[in-house]
Structures are given as structure tokens and as C-alpha cells.
A and B are shown apart, each in its own frame.
Chain A
């Protein structure tokens, strides 16, 4: 077990990062053929001679994929190459039908961009610029199901079953230049970078960017060097990083692992490792005796991509608002203090709060529900907020019902709980559970009179001006109405009944 703390690590070493993000584009058809890309179809129902790599089949480039990639490059401040080509990356693997991947090698479509991210440090908010080396296009592989082993993993499996529906779906790879200078904030910076990329891509509308579904994948490269040294350390690559939280954990974990080895005088092995969600640690991939030589050469079945300058400018003019600008705008519109804004961003609820507001909810109320009660429930269940059954529409409806007086805050919490538990929409939950604010004054009066009759001494205290005593009577009424009365209204009516004005 690790005796080294993170503090130990950063007191001696500084990390250097490299991040590779793969994005699955949301085009209707695949990168090189017309098969559908719909997620979750029956196996091998979205394949053809091209994406199955049958003898004689040929690729043809999807124009929308080119457009999406250029948009991504522009949004990342890249230069769009006036001339770019596809290349074959040759290696054998059953999920890759041609046993080469059509990708790009030394002539990628976008180069030299940057992304600015902001994180909270001890000294306050700090900005980091992540430089982008390149953005290029390639194609996704099929999916394998490993059968026979105990874990469903590849090790120990007896055989595998291959579904090629995913083979050929367009992928865009975004590669950063090396990222030094993050110091102890490396994990946060990496997380913020991936989150920012995700927001940019979502704003562009080019991908679903759902890390859980695999449409956004991150490979993290980490190396350590002694503080002050110019010499780069050996890096390891970590794959299977499936959430923002995992990005942070993986990098932190790798930094500690590297430091442990280096402190012992051992070398860090340059290898690919796999992130384990359950332990937060990485596991070594099968070591290769020799590095794979991909034998790249220009793809002879495709011709060069020479984007028209006018087309590029048209795309540039159509770029949507930058996420950072959007955040500033929302903060102003909603009058949110910095700390609260940071809390929303950190909890990854900004988008869903905006969605809720766009459906008519008051921003403060929307924020308080998502950051408050719903976050609490998500933490209790140890899942992401977005994984809960409750949607922006549900919350907007609940806020509206409370505003109209149809629900009290307390009742609203019950409705939220019910929706999250899978009982249906707010209306269905209200109906099924019989939740109703008792608004009917005459019914309330009846309950009030009955409570006063049951506790005449207490009622007398109130008549005499001892207002706090009203609490006990209110409690009885609430019990009587199964908590569905509006406590404030009860108090009002009670005091009025007992000759006191509400205080």
C-alpha cells in the first residue's frame, strides 16, 4: 500500500501532462460508409461491405464529419490545414476489420490551437492555457464481448463475440502539446480541460459527449520530473478514464505511483495502463515485447482534403458562444455570487440549471434545488446528478407548483424524492402519493377548532398573548392534515381565530 501522500509527491516532483481526447461525432452515417450510427441497435444490423472490410470494399469520406472536425478545430483556436490527407495505421486486432485504421498521420486537418481553463487554487482562481498540438479524424472500432471469463474482461475469457455496428463511426482525436507548469493542480487542470472540451463540443452540437456512453474518451499521459529539472521523465499512458472524476483520480494516482517508483530508485516503465473505477488505481496493460510499428503511409483509396477558405470562414462565423463567455453571461443574468457559480460548475450542474431556467423556473430556486436537495440525494446514492431520473422539466414543474402554492417546500421535497425513486413525473407522484396542499380554509378551520378544543389550556395561552404556544396547536393541525397543510397559513388562521394578528 502507498505510504506516500500526494503532498509528499508534489514537494519533490512536478508533473508534466499530455491529454488525448477522442470524440465520437454525432453524424447520421459512418465516417466512410452510409451505415447508420444509432446507439444501441441489435448487433451487426448497421454494417456493410465497407465497414466490415469485405474484399473489394472502398471508403468514401463523410462530408459532415469533415465539417464537424473543422468546427472543432476552429473552436479550439487551431489553424485549419490547407491540405490534409488520410493515412493507414497498420496493426492487427479483431475489432478493427481492415486490420488497419484509416486515420491521419503527418498531415492532420487542424494544428496548433489552445484552450484556456480556470481552476480554484489556494490563491484564488487561476487560468491555465492548454496548447493543442493537433486535431485529426479517424474511425472507431467494433465492440467485443468477452465470453467465458469471470469478469467479462478480456483476461481469462474463452472466446469473444464481435459486433461491428460501431466500427467506422467517425472519431476526432484532440491531442495536447505537453502541459508543464500545473504543479499540484495537475489533476484539477486536467479535469477542467476535459470539462471545457466537453462544453465546447456540446455547444458545437457535433457530439453527444457522454463519457459514460463512450462518445467522449480520455487518455491521460503523466510523467514526473524533479522540481526545477529540464529533463522530462518517462511517461505512462492511462486509458479507460470514463468520467471527469476519473480524470482527476487517475492523474493523482499515477503521480503517486510514479513517485513511489522513483523514490525507490526504480524506473517508470513506458506503458499503457488501464484505470480501475473501483480502486482508483491503474493496472498495467499486457506488456509488449516490442513497440508496435504502425507503418503509416498515405491512404491510397482516398484523396486529399483541401478545405475551401470561404467555407472555413463561413464555419468560423457560425461558431456558437464560447462556454467561458456563456458562463459569465449566465452569472450576470442570474446575479450569482462567484462562490456559488464555482460550486455549480464544480458540481457540473450549470447546464441542467440553465435548462431548468429556460423552462420558466426562477434561477435562484432552480439553483437551490439542483445544488441542494438533489445533489444531496445524488451523493447519498453515490451517483452523478445526471444519472438520476429527475429532469430539468420535472424541477421546473415543481418550482412552478410551489410558486403557485400548490406545493409547500416540504411537500415539494417529497415529490422530488418520488421522481428520483422512479415513481414517474411530478404529476404522477403527486397523484399516486395523494400529495396535496390543504388550501381549503374551511377544512383548515375545522382542524384548528378541533385542535383548540383538544388543548384548551394551550389555546388560552395564545389568546393571552403567549404566541409561541401556537406551535403545539399548529403541530396538531399538521398531523391532522397529514402534513399537507401550509403551515404558514395554519398559523395565520389559528392566530386570527384566537384573536391575535400573525407575527
Chain B
């Protein structure tokens, strides 16, 4: 069964935006080997003719009408903001580009 290298785990941490310590990466690499081995058994029965289930119930076409309902006030919207300025959320400098 496939196992993950420490670099693989570090890459996952990067994708998940978590700044992990070396010790954490070590521990996770070991744990993942065990966990992945256990969960991989889903492949034993997941043959091509079995459809996947995304929802327990066969619901469909759940919509709302295009009607405006009251929003939060800006004070409520910003109430939890770590920082704000001019009624906007203030965030540190963004390095990356929008996708």
C-alpha cells in the first residue's frame, strides 16, 4: 500500500495552510502509514459497478426564490474581525495571486 514520505506530508500541510513543526511532521508521517493502511481496504469492495453516494437522501432541485432578504449590519458582519478599517476587513499583505 502506498505510504507517505515526510515531504509528502509537508506538502499536504502546505496545501492545508498549516505551519507544522518538524516533530509534528515526523509523528504524522508515522501515523499516516498506519491509518492509510487501515482505510485503504475500501478499495477491496469499491468496484466500478458500484455507484458512489454523495447524499444519504435522494433529494434534488432544492431552490430559493430570487428575493432579497435583510443582510447583517456592517457592525454585525465585522463583529468578529481580528482587524478592520473603513468598514472593511483588514488583512495582512497578500503575496499570492487570485486563481
Alpha-carbon distance between A154 and B78 when the two chains are bound, in angstroms: 23
Beta-carbon contact of B63 and A61 below 8 Å = yes
- Judging by beta carbons under 8 Å apart, are A65 and B96 in contact? no
Tell me, yes or no, whether A292 is within 8 Å of chain B by CB. yes
The answer to whether the Cβ of B19 comes within 8 Å of any Cβ in the partner chain is no
Residue among B59, B86, B94 having the largest count of chain A Cβ atoms under 10 Å: B94
Given A66-B63, A144-B94, A157-B93: A48 and B88 interface contact (C-beta under 8 Å)? no
A303 engages B69 (CB within 8 Å) = no
Could you tell me which residues of chain A, from 198 to 219, have a CB within 8 Å of some CB in chain B? none
Known: A44-B77, A47-B72, A285-B97. A161 touches B89 (CB 8 A): yes
Contact (Cβ within 8 A) A28 B67: yes
A303 engages B64 (CB within 8 Å): no
Given A43-B74, A161-B85, A305-B61, A35:B97 Cβ within 8 A: no
**CB-contact partner of A43 in B87, B93, B95, under 8 A:** B87
User: Do A43 and B88 touch (CB < 8 A)?
Assistant: yes
In this assembly, does A62 line the interface, its C-beta being within 8 Å of a C-beta of chain B?
Answer: yes
Most central of B54, B66, B96 by chain A CB within 10 Å: B66
Is B91's CB under 8 angstroms from A306's CB?
no
Residues of B within 8 A of A62 (CB): 63-64, 66
B62 touches A303 (CB 8 A): yes
Q: How far is the CB of A307 from chain B (nearest CB, A)?
A: 8
Q: Is B55 an interface residue (CB 8 A)?
A: yes
In the complex, the answer to whether B60 meets A47 with C-beta atoms within 8 Å is: no
Assembly CA distance A47 to B60 (angstroms)? 27
Does A159 interact with chain B (Cβ within 8 Å)? yes
Tell which of A70-78, A89-97, A188-196, A483-491 binds the partner.
Answer: A89-97
Instruction: Give which listed residue, B64, B88, B94, contacts A44 with CB less than 8 A.
Output: B88
Which of chain A's residues have a CB closer than 8 A to the CB of B89?
44, 161-162, 164
Interface residues on A, range: 35 or more
Q: Are the C-beta atoms of A163 and B67 separated by less than 8 Å?
A: no
Q: How far is the CA of A303 from the CA of B78 in the complex (A)?
A: 31
Contact B90 A303 (CB under 8 A): no
CB < 8 Å: which of A28, A145, A285, A300 contacts B54?
Answer: A300
How far apart sit A285 and B95, CA to CA, in the bound complex (Å)? 11
Q: Assess whether A158 is interfacial by the CB under 8 Å rule.
A: yes
Q: Which residue of B lies closest to A162 (CB)?
A: B89
Query: Which residue of chain A has its CB nearest to the CB of B11?
Result: A290
Residues in B with CB closer than 8 Å to A158 are: 93
- Please classify the interface of chain A as helix (H, G, I), strand (E, B), loop, or mixed, using the class held by over half of its residues: loop
**Are the C-beta atoms of A35 and B71 separated by less than 8 Å?**
yes
Please tell me if B38 contacts chain A, counting CB pairs below 8 Å: no
Among B72, B92, B94, the residue within 8 A (CB) of A154 is: B94
The answer to whether A34 touches B64, judged by C-beta atoms less than 8 angstroms apart, is yes
Determine whether the beta carbon of B86 is less than 8 Å from that of A43. Answer: yes
A293 to B15, CA, bound (A): 8
Instruction: Please tell me if the beta carbons of A91 and B74 are within 8 angstroms of each other in the complex.
Output: no
Check A48–B61 contact: CB distance below 8 A: no
**Nearest CB of B to A84, in Å:** 10
- Contact partner, A61, options B17, B64, B88, B93, Cβ 8 Å: B64
Nearest A residue to B78 by beta-carbon distance? A44
Cβ-defined contact, A141 with B62, below 8 A: no
What's the nearest-Cβ distance from chain A to residue B54, in Å? 5
Task: Give chain B residues whose Cβ lies under 8 Å from the Cβ of A145.
Answer: 88
Query: 29 A-B pairs, CB-CB below 8 angstroms?
Result: A27-B66, A28-B66, A28-B67, A29-B67, A35-B71, A42-B74, A44-B74, A44-B88, A45-B73, A45-B74, A46-B71, A47-B71, A48-B71, A48-B72, A52-B72, A52-B77, A61-B63, A63-B63, A64-B65, A148-B93, A159-B91, A160-B92, A161-B88, A161-B91, A162-B91, A164-B77, A286-B95, A292-B99, A298-B54
A sample of 10 more A-B contacts (CB under 8 A), given A29-B68, A34-B64, A161-B88, is A34-B69, A36-B71, A44-B87, A47-B77, A49-B72, A60-B64, A66-B63, A148-B93, A160-B94, A303-B60
